[in-house]
Structures are given as C-alpha cells and as structure tokens.
C-alpha cells in the first residue's frame, strides 16, 4: 500500500510564478519558437516572426479610380457650358475602367457621367479638370519598403490582404509551440468504454488540449500511462523529444503525484511542488533540459485553473505575444463565502445584471466539479490574506464570457425544477442571444434573493399551512411592498423516491421514521422540505425520529442520486427526478411551481422573451414528456400583487 510521503510546499502564487518563469528565462526557454515560412493565404491567426515591409507599391502603376476617359488636363482648360470642348477618342482621350493604367500622355481621368458622346468617336465636356483627378497614384495604398505589419503581430484577414498587395507570397511566422500532454493513472479509461466502479473517464486531456489550442499551441496527446514509475519516466522522455513543453496530468492520488514529482526531479529540476492556491494546490513546476515540465493536478477544476495560471503565459511567451487580458467587471457578492487564510482562492461565480448592479453567486467550490467551470461566468480571486467575502461586498470578476452575454441573462433563483434546465435550453434555441441562469437555493432562498435584488425572478412552491394556498401568502408576507407578478411554470407531483423495486417496502411518510430507513432531506427553505414538515406535523411525527433528516441536498436530482447510489433509502422529490434515475415513486401531493417576478423585471425585454418561450406548445409538450407534470396553467398569470408598488410610496 502506498502512503502519502510527498512533502507539499505551500508557496505563494506570485513567488511560484517568479521562480518558474525566471528559471525558464535564464535557461533561455522563454524565447519565441523559430520561424516557419507559410503561404500568406494559410497564415491567418499566426504570429509574424519578423516585420513585413512592402516589396512593391500598391497600386504599382497610376490607376484610374473611376470609369471614364483618360485625358491630358491641359486639353480641357477653358471648357464651360457655353464653350464645350470636343475630344476625339484615340487622339485626345481613351476610355478607361476603374483600375486601368493611365495611358501615356494622360494625366487625369474624367468620370463617365461628365462626358457627352456626340458620335463619330467624339465626346464633349463642359468643365475643365485638374491634373491627377480621379486617379490612384502609385503607392497610394502601400509604398514599397513601407512597414506593413511589425514582428510579433497576430495576422488578421486585412493583414493577409496588405501583405499580398505588398508583393509577398510567403510570410515568416512563429512555429506553434508543441505541448505534450501525458495522462497518468491506472484508474483511467478512455471515453466510451464500459465503466466499473473505480474507473475514471479520461477527459482531462481533452480539456487541457482545448486550452493549448485556444492559446495558439499545437497539442500532442500521448497515450495514457498507468501508475508505474518506470513507464511514466519513459513516456516523459518520449514527450521531451517531440514537444517544446510537457504536461503530466498527474492523477489525483498521492501515489500518482509521487511518481510525477520524482520523475521531474530525477530527469531535471523540480522547482515547485505545491502552491498556496485553491483549487490547484498540488501543481508541480519544473524544467528538464530546455523544456518546461509541469505536473498538472488530476481534479478537473484544479487542472483548468493551473493551466490558466502557468501554461497560458508560458505559451504566449513562446509565441512572442502578450497573453490576452481577460475582461473584468465589478459585481456584488450575493452570499457570504468563507476562505482559508494563507490560500488564494479562485471562486467560480454565476453573474447576472439585476437592475443597477451585477450580482455574483458562488458556485460549487469542489475541485472535482467540472460543471462549476461549465456554469461559471467568471472567477473571483479571494486574496490569501482575506478570510473570505461578505454578502454585498464589491468584487472584481474576471469574465469567462463576454460582458454583453452577462447583460442578456435572466437570473432565476430559488427552488430547483428540471423544467428550468429545459427552459434554459429552449430559450437559447429561440433567442440565441439570451441566457437563462438558475441558482438553486430553495423556495425561501429565492424570496430572499428577490428581497435583496439578486434575481429577476424566483422559482417557488411554498405551501401555506393555514390556507392551503401556494406561494401568494408567502409573497404577501415577505415582500409586502413589492409589486410581483406570479406566473405558473408547472404543476408537479411530489412523492417519496425509493430504490427500484422498493426494497424497504415504503408506503408513505409514516414509514420514514422506521429505524431501517435512511432518509435524505432537502435544505432548509426548500418547498419540498416544507411539504415534508407539514406532512410530519399532520402525522404527529417529530423530525428527530427520522434518520438522515439533517443530511441536506440542494436539488431533486441530488436527492435522487443519493437514493440511486444507495447512500439513502428514501427522499422526497418530484416524479421527473425519480424517472430520470429509474427510481420507484410513491406520490405524496401535487403542488404548484410558480415564478415570482417583480414588476420592474416583468417588463424587461429579456423576461418577456423568456415568458413567450414558456407559452409555446413545444415547451409544454416537452415538459409533459418528462412525466409527473401538468401544464394546464403553464405561462398563466396566477396572481398580480398590487402592493404599494402602484401606490404613493413608489
């Protein structure tokens, strides 16, 4: 059995970067790659390896700039309306089209609109012209020897045109730096293989390869190698022969890390192993000969982050151009986040403009949650010396998508329902420029988000225990001063999800208190949890009697997954979630799931578009197909709260 005997540094990020890049600079590794000669027409997006000076002028001859006749200006002097001058073709003039060379003896062009053919090859003109009218002189665009583009310039379409116009057929560009990626880990299996417990789909190399390509490098994905020191060492040596830089994707277990770090240290120099960042701490930075070699951690978020911090600047330096600077905006944190002193954290956030400000909601912080990178709109850095971020604190966000996309995002916060996923996808189909982002914080969380101005709408299914009415009583109680439009999204069946075949024979809520039943609950404020509490109250059962009452998940699907995986026997949730994971379902109660939209957002163009999608027959059809949903009121306004919003206090 392997034991963790790897000593990890906890080096501050700036120190690690300095150490790594200074070592590489001193070793002469950071220079741009040598030039390669390309056909100009194949050089789009490449970086010039030397300045390009024009070999010829453009135009390379005096060219007519209009369709008309070429003449000697002196032949036109004195012409006016009462004394037109006649010119004869072949003697005084020659017809020219735009781009034709100026014939000998001529020094100007008269536009075709200004001549009056009078037959016999003669034309009349009624005004004189100056020399060099309607001409493009030699070099008007480009003069031979002139600089067209400097060295270290990324070639755009117009640059290709100018370089061709300047008489070049080829151009010297930087060779793309080749980056070898070595996946390591005995547990890795290729995508598409049948999986058994413990197998991990090897997808990191595709993510890393994608980054390398986007940063202008050329990728060489090596065959994956198991956790065997000699084999890893051999694969690294092969990679060193073929690439400008080597990335060992080090697996996440200590054994795998150990091999990688030892291998770098044996073949070259391991400069850093362990940086005070989260995620990404176990990154390794080293050099073997004149090649940078990095151990990139196995957890996908750690991998993506450390690639951005170390490989991105490296690749741009190897191309001679500065790395693009990410766009940044200021946002306000929607929730408090606690962070460890001494570690710089890179927090993934969802963003949305709500009225005057952009709100940032933290996503899952787990290093293994690649969906947090898929869902994230940006990254907030929490400095090493800060203990975290307060709710309402202003933060700078490095954007992962353009700012205008953030502006076009409808933010739904509150209870989770699978139809929200469906809605997000359908909206994107009808309105590609529009985004729907949903954060799952439970129904009460959604109301609080509306109160704090952090969402455009809240998804909720809150049953009032006194009136039996859904949602409206809660809006009146918690948002009495806001004008709210409540729109039904769906009616849905809530019930108990149990494993296929119902092995514990659960028949209803009362069985949840059985000692052999392990329950999994939703978080406080979730409508589903309120429903459970109501039912328990009706049956006179105390929450303490239920094993697992305190274990909380944030979504229906997470509860379903816990049941499917066997870590719980039962959980309350919706039929669609049970169906999705092939669970049995014992109906408990139907309920209304509505969207509460403050009036000021109800009139937003983006919100109107989203509501129009909800009202399509196609959306309703897809919802019904999920099972457990009733769309008879979908898209209807259930309630429009007048509040004080239309009165004198607003």
Q: How far apart are CA 83 and CA 63, in angstroms?
A: 30
Q: How far is the CB of 18 from a second copy (least distance, A)?
A: 18
Based on the shown chain and the rule CB under 8 A, indicate whether residue 142 belongs to the binding site for a second copy: yes
Q: How far apart are CA 529 and CA 535, in angstroms?
A: 10
Q: How far apart are CA 250 and CA 221, in angstroms?
A: 14
Tokens 């036109």 sit at which residue?
A: 76
Site for a second copy in 423-482 (CB under 8 A): 424-425, 428-429, 432-433
Q: How far is the CB of 324 from a second copy (least distance, A)?
A: 7
Based on the shown chain and the rule CB under 8 A, indicate whether residue 187 belongs to the binding site for a second copy: yes
Cis peptide before 59 (omega within 30 of 0): yes
Contact of 318 with 244, CB cutoff 8 Å: yes
Non-local (6+) Cβ contacts of 537 within 8 A are 465
* Torsion-angle region of 59 (φ positive above 0: left; ψ -120 to 50: alpha; else: beta): beta
Based on the shown chain and the rule CB under 8 A, indicate whether residue 151 belongs to the binding site for a second copy: yes
User: Biggest alpha carbon distance in the chain?
Assistant: 115
Stretch that binds a second copy, among 174-182, 199-207, 448-456, 499-507 (CB under 8 A): 199-207
Based on the shown chain and the rule CB under 8 A, indicate whether residue 61 belongs to the binding site for a second copy: yes
CB of 67 or CB of 599, closer to a second copy = 67
CB of 26 or CB of 199, closer to a second copy = 199
Q: How far is the CB of 301 from a second copy (least distance, A)?
A: 9
Based on the shown chain and the rule CB under 8 A, indicate whether residue 107 belongs to the binding site for a second copy: yes
Binding residue for a second copy, selected from 28, 90, 119, 191, defined by CB under 8 A: 191
Contact of 414 with 446, CB cutoff 8 Å: yes
- The residue among 216, 246, 179, 402 whose CA lies nearest residue 321 is 216
Q: How far is the CB of 288 from a second copy (least distance, A)?
A: 25
Stretch that binds a second copy, among 152-160, 231-239, 594-602, 627-635 (CB under 8 A): 152-160
Q: How far apart are CA 203 and CA 585, in angstroms?
A: 34
Based on the shown chain and the rule CB under 8 A, indicate whether residue 156 belongs to the binding site for a second copy: yes
Site for a second copy in 572-631 (CB under 8 A): 580-581
Binding residue for a second copy, selected from 369, 534, 637, 638, defined by CB under 8 A: 369
Non-local (6+) Cβ contacts of 87 within 8 A are 69, 71, 75, 76, 93, 122, 123, 124, 125
Based on the shown chain and the rule CB under 8 A, indicate whether residue 100 belongs to the binding site for a second copy: yes
Site for a second copy in 488-507 (CB under 8 A): none
Based on the shown chain and the rule CB under 8 A, indicate whether residue 132 belongs to the binding site for a second copy: yes
Contact of 95 with 104, CB cutoff 8 Å: no
Based on the shown chain and the rule CB under 8 A, indicate whether residue 87 belongs to the binding site for a second copy: no
Binding residue for a second copy, selected from 11, 33, 58, 123, defined by CB under 8 A: 58
Non-local (6+) Cβ contacts of 504 within 8 A are 498, 511, 514, 516, 517, 569, 570
Binding residue for a second copy, selected from 8, 30, 73, 254, defined by CB under 8 A: 254
CB of 43 or CB of 276, closer to a second copy = 43
Here the tokens at position 575 are 């039929």
DSSP character for 308? Answer: I
Binding residue for a second copy, selected from 325, 338, 385, 617, defined by CB under 8 A: 325
Size of the site for a second copy (CB under 8 A): 121
Based on the shown chain and the rule CB under 8 A, indicate whether residue 157 belongs to the binding site for a second copy: yes
Q: How far is the CB of 362 from a second copy (least distance, A)?
A: 16
Q: What is the DSSP string of 81-99?
A: SSS-EEEEBTTTBEEE-TT
Here the tokens at position 560 are 């379903």
Q: How far is the CB of 555 from a second copy (least distance, A)?
A: 8
Based on the shown chain and the rule CB under 8 A, indicate whether residue 486 belongs to the binding site for a second copy: no
Q: How far is the CB of 377 from a second copy (least distance, A)?
A: 12
Q: Tell me how far CA of residue 123 lies from CA of 91, 96, 112, 478, in angstroms.
A: 12, 14, 10, 87
Element (H, E) at 413: strand 409-414
Contact of 393 with 349, CB cutoff 8 Å: no
Based on the shown chain and the rule CB under 8 A, indicate whether residue 57 belongs to the binding site for a second copy: yes
Q: How far is the CB of 328 from a second copy (least distance, A)?
A: 10
CB of 85 or CB of 209, closer to a second copy = 209
Here the tokens at position 454 are 């952090």
Here the tokens at position 187 are 């547990």
Binding residue for a second copy, selected from 164, 534, 604, 638, defined by CB under 8 A: 164
- The residue among 268, 266, 225, 226 whose CA lies nearest residue 245 is 268
Based on the shown chain and the rule CB under 8 A, indicate whether residue 143 belongs to the binding site for a second copy: yes
Q: Tell me how far CA of residue 142 lies from CA of 151, 173, 309, 338, in angstroms.
A: 18, 21, 41, 60
Q: How far is the CB of 492 from a second copy (least distance, A)?
A: 16
Site for a second copy in 537-576 (CB under 8 A): 551, 555, 557-558, 560-562, 564-565, 567
Binding residue for a second copy, selected from 19, 27, 38, 321, defined by CB under 8 A: 321
Q: How far apart are CA 327 and CA 310, in angstroms?
A: 19
Binding residue for a second copy, selected from 371, 541, 586, 637, defined by CB under 8 A: 371
Q: How far is the CB of 595 from a second copy (least distance, A)?
A: 18
* x/- map, 10-49, a second copy, by CB under 8 A: ------------------------------xx--x-----
């Amino acid at each position: 059995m392997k034991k963790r005997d790897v000593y990890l540094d906890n080096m501050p990020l700036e120190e690690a970067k300095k150490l790594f890049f200074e070592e590489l600079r001193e070793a002469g590794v950071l220079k741009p790659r040598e030039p390669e000669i390309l056909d100009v027409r194949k050089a789009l997006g490449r970086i010039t390896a030397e300045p390009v000076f024009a070999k010829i002028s453009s135009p390379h001859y005096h060219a007519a700039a209009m369709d008309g006749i070429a003449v000697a200006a002196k032949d036109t002097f004195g012409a006016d309306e009462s004394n037109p001058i006649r010119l004869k073709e072949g003697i005084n003039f020659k017809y020219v089209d735009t781009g034709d060379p100026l014939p000998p003896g001529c020094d100007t062009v008269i536009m075709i609109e200004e001549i009056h053919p009078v037959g016999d090859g003669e034309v009349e003109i009624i005004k004189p012209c100056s020399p060099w009218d309607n001409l493009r002189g030699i070099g008007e665009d480009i003069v031979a020897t002139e600089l067209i583009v400097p060295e270290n310039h990324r070639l755009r379409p117009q640059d290709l045109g100018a370089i061709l116009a300047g008489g070049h057929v080829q151009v010297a560009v930087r060779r793309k730096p080749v980056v070898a990626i070595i996946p390591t880990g005995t547990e890795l299996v290729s995508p598409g293989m049948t999986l058994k417990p413990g197998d991990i789909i090897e997808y990191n190399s595709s993510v890393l390869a994608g980054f390398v390509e986007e940063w202008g490098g050329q990728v060489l994905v090596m065959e994956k190698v198991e956790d065997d020191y000699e084999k890893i060492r051999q694969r690294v040596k092969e990679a060193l022969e073929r690439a400008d830089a080597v990335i060992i994707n080090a697996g996440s277990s200590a054994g795998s890390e150990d091999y990688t770090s030892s291998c770098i240290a044996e073949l070259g120099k391991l400069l850093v192993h362990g940086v005070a960042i989260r995620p990404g701490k176990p990154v390794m930075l080293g050099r073997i000969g004149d090649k940078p070699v990095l151990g990139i951690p196995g957890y996908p978020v750690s991998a993506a982050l450390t690639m951005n911090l170390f490989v991105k600047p490296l690749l741009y330096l190897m191309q001679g151009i500065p790395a693009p600077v990410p766009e940044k905006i200021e946002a306000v944190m929607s929730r408090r986040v606690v962070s460890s002193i001494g570690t710089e954290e890179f927090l993934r956030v969802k963003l949305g403009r709500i009225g005057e400000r952009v709100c940032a909601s933290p996503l899952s912080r787990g290093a293994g949650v690649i969906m947090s990178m898929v869902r994230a709109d940006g990254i907030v850095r929490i400095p090493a010396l800060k203990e975290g971020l307060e709710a309402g604190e202003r933060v700078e966000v490095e954007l992962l998508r353009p700012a205008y996309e953030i502006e076009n995002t409808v933010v739904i916060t509150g209870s989770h329902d699978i139809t929200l996923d469906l809605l997000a996808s359908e909206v994107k189909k009808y309105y590609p420029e529009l985004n729907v982002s949903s954060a799952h914080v439970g129904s009460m969380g959604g109301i609080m988000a509306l109160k704090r101005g952090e969402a455009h709408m809240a998804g909720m299914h809150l049953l009032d225990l006194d009136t039996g009415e859904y949602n409206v009583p809660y809006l009146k109680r918690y948002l009495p001063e806001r004008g709210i439009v409540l729109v039904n999204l769906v009616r849905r069946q809530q019930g108990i999800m149990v494993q296929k075949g119902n092995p514990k024979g659960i028949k209803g809520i009362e069985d949840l208190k059985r000692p052999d039943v392990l329950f999994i609950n939703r978080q406080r404020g979730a409508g589903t949890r309120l429903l459970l509490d109501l039912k328990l109250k009706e049956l006179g059962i105390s929450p303490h009697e239920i094993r697992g009452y305190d274990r909380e998940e944030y979504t229906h699907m997470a509860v379903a997954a816990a049941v499917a995986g066997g870590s719980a026997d039962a959980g309350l949730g919706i039929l669609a979630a049970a169906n999705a994971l092939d669970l049995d379902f014992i109906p408990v109660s139907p309920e209304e799931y509505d969207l509460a939209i403050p009036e000021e957002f109800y009139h937003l163009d983006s919100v109107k578009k989203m509501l129009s999608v909800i009202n399509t027959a196609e959306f309703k059809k897809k919802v019904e197909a999920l099972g457990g949903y009733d769309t008879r009121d979908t898209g209807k306004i259930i309630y429009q709260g007048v509040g004080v919003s239309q009165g004198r206090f607003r």
